[in-house]
Structures are given as C-alpha cells and as structure tokens.
Amino acid sequence: MHPSPPPRRRWPVIVVTLLALSAAAPASAKPVGASDGAAPAVQAPGMVYTGLAAERTGACAGMYRIVGITSTMCTHGPDPAPAGLSVARSIAPLQARTAAPSALAVCEGDGTSGRRVEVLYVRGSTSRYNQYLETFRQLAEQVDVIFNESAKATGGERHVRYVTESVNGACRPVVRDVQIPDSALNADDWAPLLNAVKAAGYARTDRKYLQFVDANIYCGIGGFAGDTRKSDANRSNTGPEYARADNGCWTAGVAAHELGHTLGAVNNNAPNASGAAHCVDEYDVMCYKDGPNVVLRYSCPSQALDQRLDCNHDDYYHTNPPAGSYLATYYNVADNLFLIKGGGTTPPPVTNLALSATPSASYTSSWESVLAINDGIDPPSSNDTVNRRWGTWPNTGQQWALLTWSTAQTVRVADVYFFDDNGGVRLPASWTLQYWNGTSYVAVPGAGGYPVALNQYNRVTFTSVNTTRLRVVLNSGQGSVGLLEVKATA
C-alpha cells in the first residue's frame, strides 16, 4: 500500500519546474512514498505519477525515472499546488507596468551564448501567447529577484542567466512560443510533452528550459540531479533540463522552487534535508512538509523568507560559505554555472536592424512568404510549422534573400536561421553574405566563416560595412533552400 503524497505547501505565488539528469543517491535509497518500480497512485489534483518509475539503483536511484524518453531523466516527482492555487484554474495575466518599465537588473553578453535558462510557453492548437507574454517575462524577472536578494543576504550577487533580448530598450527574458500536438500537451504523463518539445528543437546541452505549459495536468514537476560534488562537473551544471508549470500555477515562488531543484537544491546530505530534495527549516523557498513523517522546524525569523532561498544559509545557497562548513565542502547552488556571479555587466541594448528593412528574394514558393525573414519571430526549430517561412521549392541552385533599407545602415553581425523540413527544403551546401557597395554586390569583408547548422541561428561577424542592402546568398545542397529569420546588428 502506498503512503499519501506530500501535503499542500504554502508556496508564494509563481511556479516553474525543471528537470535534472541523474542522481548520486545511494543504491539502497528510494523515493519517499514509493514502492520499487512504481509510483504512488494519484491522490490529489496535479499529483500525477503516471510515467514515473521509482528507482533504487542506477542514475535515478532514490528518485523517479521518467519513462518513455530516449535519454535518462530523473525527477523528485510532482509538487502539490500551493494554498490559494488550483490545478483546474488558470492564473490571470499580469498587466504591463506603467510607472517604471519592467526589466532584468543584470544581463550578460549577447543574450544567447553559453549556459542559459530559456523560457518556453508550451501550448497546443490554441494560443494565448500574446495575452500572457508580459506575464511570463515578469515571472522570470521575479525569480531573478529571489535569487539575487537571497545572495545579498550572504554578501554576494547572483542573477539567473536567461536568454535575453532588448524590448523597448530594456533587457528582458526571451519567451519562445512552442506549439506541440494537443495529445502531448494534455497527456497524463510528462514524457509525451518532453519528446514534443525536444522535437521542436529545444534540446541544447547549454540550456535549462522553463516550461510554462498551457494545460491543467500538473501544478509543477521538476528535476533533481542529487549530485553532491563540489565541482563544475556537477550534473546540475548541464543540460538539456526541463521544468514544467501548468497554467493553474503560473506564479514566482514556485518557479524559484523548481528552478532551485534543477540547479542542485536540496541535496539529501544537507544539514536540514527532508530526504526528498527539500528542507525542513522554515521559512524558505525550498522547505515544506513533503512526507507524512517529516517534521518542520520554524527556525527562520520571518514568513517573508518564504520568498527567499536558504534562510539560514547553511543547506544549499551561500555566496561565500565559511571554511569547513557544509557548503564549503559539498555542492552549493550559488556556484551553479547557469547563474551570473558578481553582477556581470549590463550591455547596451542591441538593435536588430533587419526589422526596419524591406525583404525581397530571388524566388519564393507560392505558399511561403519572404516576409518571414525579418518578421522578428524566433523560430522554435528549422522545421517550423507554425510561423511564416521563406522557401524556394522546387527551384535549386543559387538563391538569395535581400534586406533593403531606405537609408544606409552600419552592419557588423548577421544571424541566419535556416529552413529545413527534411523534405524538399534542406540546409544549403554553402552560403555567403553580400552587401551593396553603390554599384554592385560584393562579399562582406573579414567574414569569420559561414556555419551551417540546424535548429539555431548561424552567426557571421565581419568588418563593419555601411550599406543600404544586405543579401544572403545560398547554394542548394540536397534540395531547395529557405530561411526562417535573419538578424543584422551593428
């Protein structure tokens, strides 16, 4: 007979969940409330254990293994809805701020390179992307506040290294619009959704994906590596990892809670560990009564700390732990490579010059649109079946797409996203960039190579040119060629 799953928790509003790869739990361990090879029966809304196998050995020892996916993924299991939230009710959208524009306090680099947390809106045939875009951005920004305010309590600074973009001159998290089949969206099992999101191109090893899922199956479910090694090689420092929060739990304390799991909290050898990836010394984002025999201790001074990480700074998060302490010896979430340490730098806003250009092309299939190449929509994958595409089927050979400005622009960087439907339109065999020098098209000078890769932007940097026209020239390979998006920056 299975014990009941954990009781409801008082999480502050805002949820997202992520998933880690594997565990370092002892082989004799098993998840709280689980029998060998099985998970507890569903006993409360959102506590869905279908597709989870409790493991005593292997990569997911002491946790659950997600069945039905090709690579091993582990999770501590679903989390219950916080008081005041319901899996059956959708969170109302937040309003855009008017007094002061919303933005991340700190961004880093070009907004895409290196390890990043990428926010996804995952939906089926019905889209509420435009209605909730501002909500998702604000929730991600509030999670960053939780991480940084908690770091300040130990004399440091930490920010979530999101995939970012400039929005009206402010640095904000990118939110991808990811459409998957309705059957995968609404399955009583996480695996079909994970497989669909990965098939859409979100499977990078340098990414953790925060999934705001427009469904009513879970409150949240996330991953946990259980790796206690104090090393950059800790499995909490790798991807792809995934987090899920359904629309009844689109709130920020839960998001910080689940993101904390995927970043390495709370290891079961920590001083106040519950034994199921949480802690027992309240008040704290990561602490709650997660099993029938768990006894909480209220050793932190204020319930307001329910919006902060590691209230006593001794279990999983400290920017400068004392010598000889647990966090000086074992893994510390404040060291995670998906966080910006010491504040980073705030770069000037990057303007995508392509947005103000007029697009044209050598040829466009009648069912495609050359407007796709600079409509500002980041593709979910090279086989984008949702947004506009520019393709040249059945034509082959050399084809081009052109951006034309009314006045000269200074351009130094181009990012090109190729269209490839694994059918008539395929990756080009090669490509180049040309600019108009006043009399003819010539190759951009000093180009650092022309990469050809699926499911991502292919960046070329070159010596700055001042021009009214920039042309992408593609030479066909296995089929016709096409583009989904072109960005041009100074």
Q: Estimate to the nearest angstrom the gap between the alpha carbon of 200 and the chain centroid.
A: 13
Q: Estimate to the nearest angstrom the gap between the alpha carbon of 33 and the chain centroid.
A: 30
Q: Which carries the bigger pLDDT value, residue 456 or residue 479?
A: 479
pLDDT band at 301 (very low <50, low <70, confident <90, very high): confident
Tens digit of each residue's pLDDT (9 = 90 or more) over 244-258: 999 999 989 888 888
Percentage of the chain exceeding pLDDT 70: 89
Give which of 463, 457, 465 is closest to 484, Cα–Cα.
Answer: 457
Give which of 126, 212, 227 is closest to 174, Cα–Cα.
Answer: 212
Provide the 8-state DSSP code for 231.
Answer: S
Q: How many CA atoms lie within 13 A of 341 on its CB side?
A: 11
User: Are 45 and 271 within 8 A, CB to CB?
Assistant: no
Confidence check: pLDDT of 295 > 50? yes
User: Are 65 and 55 within 8 A, CB to CB?
Assistant: yes
Give which of 218, 184, 164, 178 is closest to 344, Cα–Cα.
Answer: 164
Q: How many CA atoms lie within 13 A of 396 on its CB side?
A: 10
Provide the 8-state DSSP code for 167.
Answer: E
* Average pLDDT rounded to a whole number, residues 445-469: 91
* Average pLDDT rounded to a whole number, residues 120-135: 96
443: which residues sit within 8 A by CB, 6+ positions away? 432, 433, 434
The residues pairing with 79 across neighbouring beta strands, listed in sequence order, are: 220
- Around Cβ 100, how many Cβ atoms within 10 Å? 6
Q: pTM of the prediction?
A: 0.68
Question: Three-state SS for 59?
Answer: coil
Q: What is the mean pLDDT of the chain?
A: 88
Confidence check: pLDDT of 116 > 50? yes
User: Are 205 and 71 within 8 A, CB to CB?
Assistant: no
* Average pLDDT rounded to a whole number, residues 267-282: 92
User: Are 417 and 459 within 8 A, CB to CB?
Assistant: no
Provide the 8-state DSSP code for 335.
Answer: G
pLDDT band at 185 (very low <50, low <70, confident <90, very high): very high
User: Are 19 and 241 within 8 A, CB to CB?
Assistant: yes
Dist CA 34 CA 290 (whole Å): 13
Locate 338 and state its tokens: 């998906």
